[in-house]
Structure 1
């Protein structure tokens, strides 16, 4: 008979599982609200994270630690169990995002000031590599094999960095176009998609190819109408991949563009409430959910990717900034910054189930992200 014993000092009734936990960015106070997804409740708060006005985060593979990328250049490591900041460094003047390597050993940060990418040891936050760039560096994603990809706003250059060896190997893949404003890696890590602000279109790089080359598409959208003022850039990590299609935001237009995933040909458009910010696929369903830029940012729309029609329009609250789905898609959590609330909706009935008080919430990040490439 197999007999197991708990480690000395271990109390089972005090054990905490991380699988249903998450963090909500409270942008006005530089704090994180710790939430329990199963209980639909806030269970704690972590403070002292600096400027979180445009913050994002990623998780270690075991879901124990969150790495928070602040607008003030701060990189913070947060322990999800003790709810404390266990390491922090101001690594730049202005940073815009980051990623963790597939083995969980490296954390990379992309910077506006002074530009470039810095790579840190995930355990200690010791600086391991400093890769300069000729401008603002954006669209940083993790690529399998201890690699990262990124692009540069000022030059349009696209890079792939391999950090598997003792010395980083940085490869210039090519030029995406004028002013790439964000980028995303497809869920199978096959295609790196880069949105362009200075010209119409999107540029794709096939990362399964030994020598990836830029492939531009969607170069003609919006040519028959004037662009509207862009009040907020779309966030491309919210691009939806569903039904063999990409659902992409039309910059400066109140439209979603549908593109065949294999051919990269436009196949349709959907008129929507405003300028899309996040377009996120509801897991295990044909639906995508969309929120919008100010001043039309009190609405969320649900679109059926089969018919490309809007099937629901919700008004959850004021200044809807972000949405995060439960891993299997049963619920969606929606941040309403100006109502100081996180709203929780059932995705089948689309009825509100609960709400949680939060201080000017923006990004919502569940620990399930730890197991997804490109996040």
Structure 2
């Protein structure tokens, strides 16, 4: 694969040297968590194009794209922030900005990249062009749930203190709004595509907490206060990823912490509207772009299976086993295909989302997150 990547990269340089344009809208990156590399893939060709190495510890990595889809900003567990040029297929810049990072976000105008840290805690914000730090926000807490919000704002939450902060850089200066009483040990969060609702999951108590970011003075809104691990704590084998919550029609579909089910919540009233029993503890519950189906994968030891739920009936309509350690799913922008990383098989598997037929496999080294460039144009991704 490496020699193939070098050959293809050489061919690309030859064409761009003559001024031919390079399209990025069909491309994506796959995290290869064991080797500190990312695999550049092409959706239409269903193929790997190149491997880019030297990105550090990617055992819990994510990334965001620049608005023009050329650059990916990869957030590594070792605190590394790596800017990858997917046109030249090389690292454009890299800084190690903390001891232990847990994800990041890019501002709506694409000029700022923020990183959320466990060690030393807090959020650091960088110039997207140079990776020079422009703001350091200490929090005295592990920070989680960092997302971008409209208007050059970032929203993030503290595991230790149960606060959510809004960092506003719209004026050029940093202005911070602090919201307390978000709950006991928030563990992750999401923001809706319109940038209005921010929801954080709670590990230390039942329920979730929402904020209406259109409110001039956002206040915590309790969601499902009687649901969660409860007085009888359930074992949790892997925390759900809330960025993988589905929003389909007027409902959220979210993985239940410690339970073998997904929950349905009315997105207008934030009240429960249903439950679907599942094969295992859900990790991701992701909606096909048209919203008709939700695909769910599960925590160890039941992580070889995927279930597909119809959002009209709320019933499981398909179940299959791609292989050992299904870690992530990514739909093509119009939802005709889904790409699935199967870590212990060393494969990315591609399926037709209507017939469920497997279309192709791509070799990858311990693949985890899959990120297509269409994410560049979506809030919160």
Give the SS at the match of 2:375.
helix
Task: Specify every segment of 5 or more residues in structure 2 that has no aligned partner in the other structure, as ranges.
Answer: 1-15
Partner residue of 2:338 out of 299, 309, 332: 332
Instruction: Name the counterpart of 2:328.
Output: 322
Question: Following the alignment from structure 1 to structure 2, what is the Cα–Cα distance between the partners of residues 127 and 304?
Answer: 45
How much does 1:223 deviate? 7.0
Give the SS at the match of 1:233.
coil
Instruction: Name the counterpart of 2:154.
Output: 148
Instruction: Name the counterpart of 2:309.
Output: 303
Question: Following the alignment from structure 1 to structure 2, what is the Cα–Cα distance between the partners of residues 114 and 145?
Answer: 27
Instruction: Name the counterpart of 1:176.
Output: 182
Give the SS at the match of 1:175.
coil
Evaluate the alpha carbon distance shift between residue 224 and residue 213 of structure 1 in structure 2; reply closer, same or farther with a 3 A threshold: closer
Instruction: Name the counterpart of 1:46.
Output: 52
Give the SS at the match of 2:344.
coil
Partner residue of 2:18 out of 6, 10, 29: 10
Instruction: Name the counterpart of 1:203.
Output: 209
Partner residue of 2:111 out of 105, 112, 118: 105
* TM-score for the superposition, normalised by structure 1: 0.96
Maintained 8 Å contact 1:157/1:172: yes
CA-to-aligned-CA distance 1:127-186 (integer Å, 9 cap, x gap)? 000000121001000001000000000111001000122320011023210000000001
Maintained 8 Å contact 2:205/2:230: no
Evaluate the alpha carbon distance shift between residue 37 and residue 167 of structure 1 in structure 2; reply closer, same or farther with a 3 A threshold: same
Evaluate the alpha carbon distance shift between residue 352 and residue 227 of structure 1 in structure 2; reply closer, same or farther with a 3 A threshold: farther
Evaluate the alpha carbon distance shift between residue 156 and residue 225 of structure 1 in structure 2; reply closer, same or farther with a 3 A threshold: closer
Higher helix share: 2
Maintained 8 Å contact 1:205/1:215: yes
**2:272 paired with 1:272:** no
Instruction: Name the counterpart of 2:94.
Output: 88
CA-to-aligned-CA distance 1:25-59 (integer Å, 9 cap, x gap)? 00000000000011000000000000000000000
Question: Following the alignment from structure 1 to structure 2, what is the Cα–Cα distance between the partners of residues 353 and 62?
Answer: 29
Maintained 8 Å contact 2:78/2:101: yes
For residues 1-375 of structure 1, what are the structure 2 equivalents within 5 Å?
A: 10-12=18-20, 15-222=21-228, 226-375=232-381
Maintained 8 Å contact 1:331/1:346: yes
* TM-score for the superposition, normalised by structure 2: 0.94
How much does 1:268 deviate? 1.1
Give the SS at the match of 1:192.
strand
Maintained 8 Å contact 1:243/1:306: no
Give the SS at the match of 2:180.
strand
Maintained 8 Å contact 2:308/2:316: yes
How much does 1:92 deviate? 0.2
Maintained 8 Å contact 2:100/2:119: yes
Question: Following the alignment from structure 2 to structure 1, what is the Cα–Cα distance between the partners of residues 17 and 123?
Answer: 42
Give the SS at the match of 2:113.
strand
How much does 1:226 deviate? 4.1
Question: Following the alignment from structure 2 to structure 1, what is the Cα–Cα distance between the partners of residues 32 and 109?
Answer: 29
